[in-house]
Amino acid sequence: MTTTPTPLDAALALAAAGVPVLPLRAGKVPFGNCRACKDGACGGRPNMKSAGPCRCLAPCHAWAAASTDPHVLTSPVWAPVWREAVAVAYHPGGAGLTVVDLDNAAAVAWARETLPPTRTVPTTRGEHWIYQGAMTSSNSVRPGVDIKSLTQYARWLGPGTGRMALLPAAVRALVVKEDTTPRRGGVASSLPPRATWDRTVATGCRHTERYVRTGLERGLAQVRARTESGAGSQAFGVARFLAAQHTACPGPCGLASIGEEIVSAAVSVGVPEAYARRAVANGLETAVERAA
Ligand SMILES: [Zn+2]
Ligand SMILES: [Zn+2]
Ligand SMILES: [Zn+2]
């Protein structure tokens, strides 16, 4: 073991390359949540599917704790975890990547026939095919095939070989059903064609146009300022904050248009669109649920 880099060494090298990482414990699974986060009591982190306010400093919530920040990775809270870690995982979606996880030889054979060649990494019984571009994750899209990207972690098994190709339509199509399912509450599916908020979409809003517009511009600026990281979480926070201003309005207040503007701002600083949409939709829904 003396010549093998420790999981922390490997993690720091990946983080320096912009890949969010997390430790895995024996059994090659993420560490359990701390007491405060147990069973999701904290509500979860802002970047999760069901976004919550958790700011726990420990590596709780699996992939959602993945970080590129060396200060976080080497913090005292993470230190005991690294001592027990046996492997490193990464959050492919957070690095703008998609891993097609092929569990066995049959799945690999299918990929060779069906998918464009890209960078591949051997796994215990199969291969990871890694594409440039993020998408919704989905398990068992075919026998032995998982898609790991947003809201998933993948084990780091080395850099692999081959040139990374752009995420092809053939891979996106594997989970297309999930992508086109209307969202609960209809937030994203009821988006009007108009992309900017104005008074005509807010016939039941009790605020002045100036008030709404000023708050929205301030929120958009906060999202656009997150050019390095955190724009997705910021988009969630801004959506929740702005939606909360309208909980006493009879409505409609044009929240879908407000959401669209926040999504555009997040996408403009590099947040994958699907991720941005989910963060904003969760923010809007959270505000509404709190008010209910
Ligand atoms: Zn925690
Ligand atoms: Zn938590
Ligand atoms: Zn309103």
Choose the final residue of a domain: 151, 168, 185.
168
Choose the final residue of a domain: 68, 88, 108.
88
Residues 278 and 215 in one domain: yes
Q: How many whole angstroms separate alpha carbon 213 and alpha carbon 61?
A: 35
47 CA to centre of ligand 2 in angstroms: 11
Q: Can you give the pLDDT at residue 189?
A: 36
Question: What are the backbone dihedrals phi and psi of residue 127, each rounded to the nearest 5 degrees, phi first?
Answer: -145, 150
Calculate the CA 32 to chain-centre distance.
20
Contacts of 121-124 with C-beta under 8 Å, sequence gap 24+, read 121/157, 121/158, 121/159, 121/160, 121/161, 122/157, 122/160, 123/155, 123/157
Pairing of strands 127-132, 165-166: parallel
Question: Could you tell me if 144 and 106 are in contact, meaning their C-beta atoms sit under 8 angstroms apart?
Answer: yes
78 CA to centre of ligand 2 in angstroms: 14
Dihedral over Cα of 101, 105, 111, 114: its sign: negative
Q: Does any domain span residue 186? A: no
280 CA to centre of ligand 3 in angstroms: 17
To which residue do tokens 């998918």 refer? 115
Ligand nearest to the CA of 254: 3
Q: Does any domain span residue 183? A: no
Residues 43 and 58 in one domain: yes
Q: How many whole angstroms separate alpha carbon 24 and alpha carbon 189?
A: 37
Q: Report angle CA 96, 127, 86 to the nearest 5 degrees.
A: 80
Q: Does any domain span residue 1? A: no
49 CA to centre of ligand 1 in angstroms: 17
Residues 287 and 226 in one domain: yes
Question: Could you tell me if 151 and 65 are in contact, meaning their C-beta atoms sit under 8 angstroms apart?
Answer: no
93 CA to centre of ligand 1 in angstroms: 22
Q: Can you give the pLDDT at residue 215?
A: 93
252 CA to centre of ligand 3 in angstroms: 7
54 CA to centre of ligand 2 in angstroms: 5
Choose the final residue of a domain: 48, 73, 88.
88
Ligand nearest to the CA of 44: 2
Ligand nearest to the CA of 208: 3
Q: Can you give the pLDDT at residue 82?
A: 96
237 CA to centre of ligand 1 in angstroms: 20
Residues 141 and 97 in one domain: yes
39 CA to centre of ligand 3 in angstroms: 35
Q: What is the pLDDT of residues 59-71, one digit of tens each?
A: 999 999 999 999 9
Ligand nearest to the CA of 41: 2
Q: How many whole angstroms separate alpha carbon 234 and alpha carbon 283?
A: 10
Residues 238 and 162 in one domain: no
274 CA to centre of ligand 2 in angstroms: 23
Q: What is the pLDDT of residues 173-192, one digit of tens each?
A: 888 654 444 444 434 433 33
Provide the pLDDT confidence category of residue 290 given band limits of 50, 70 and 90: low
Percentage of residues in the chain having pLDDT higher than 70? 90
40 CA to centre of ligand 1 in angstroms: 9
Ligand nearest to the CA of 33: 1
pTM of the prediction? 0.61
133 CA to centre of ligand 2 in angstroms: 28
Q: Residue 90 pLDDT more than 60?
A: yes
Structural domain count of the chain: 3
Residues 109 and 145 in one domain: yes
Q: Does any domain span residue 249? A: yes
> Which 3 state secondary structure label does DSSP give 234?
helix
Mean pLDDT of 229-243: 92
Q: Does any domain span residue 173? A: no
Q: Does any domain span residue 134? A: yes
224 CA to centre of ligand 3 in angstroms: 24
Q: Range of 156's domain?
A: 93-168
Residues 123 and 84 in one domain: no
Q: Does any domain span residue 2? A: no
Q: What is the pLDDT of residues 31-55, one digit of tens each?
A: 999 999 988 889 899 888 778 899 9
Question: Could you tell me if 210 and 199 are in contact, meaning their C-beta atoms sit under 8 angstroms apart?
Answer: no
Q: Which residues surround ligand 2, an ion (CB under 5 A)?
A: 37, 42, 54, 56, 60
Ligand nearest to the CA of 30: 1
44 CA to centre of ligand 2 in angstroms: 5
Residues 81 and 98 in one domain: no
276 CA to centre of ligand 3 in angstroms: 23
245 CA to centre of ligand 3 in angstroms: 7
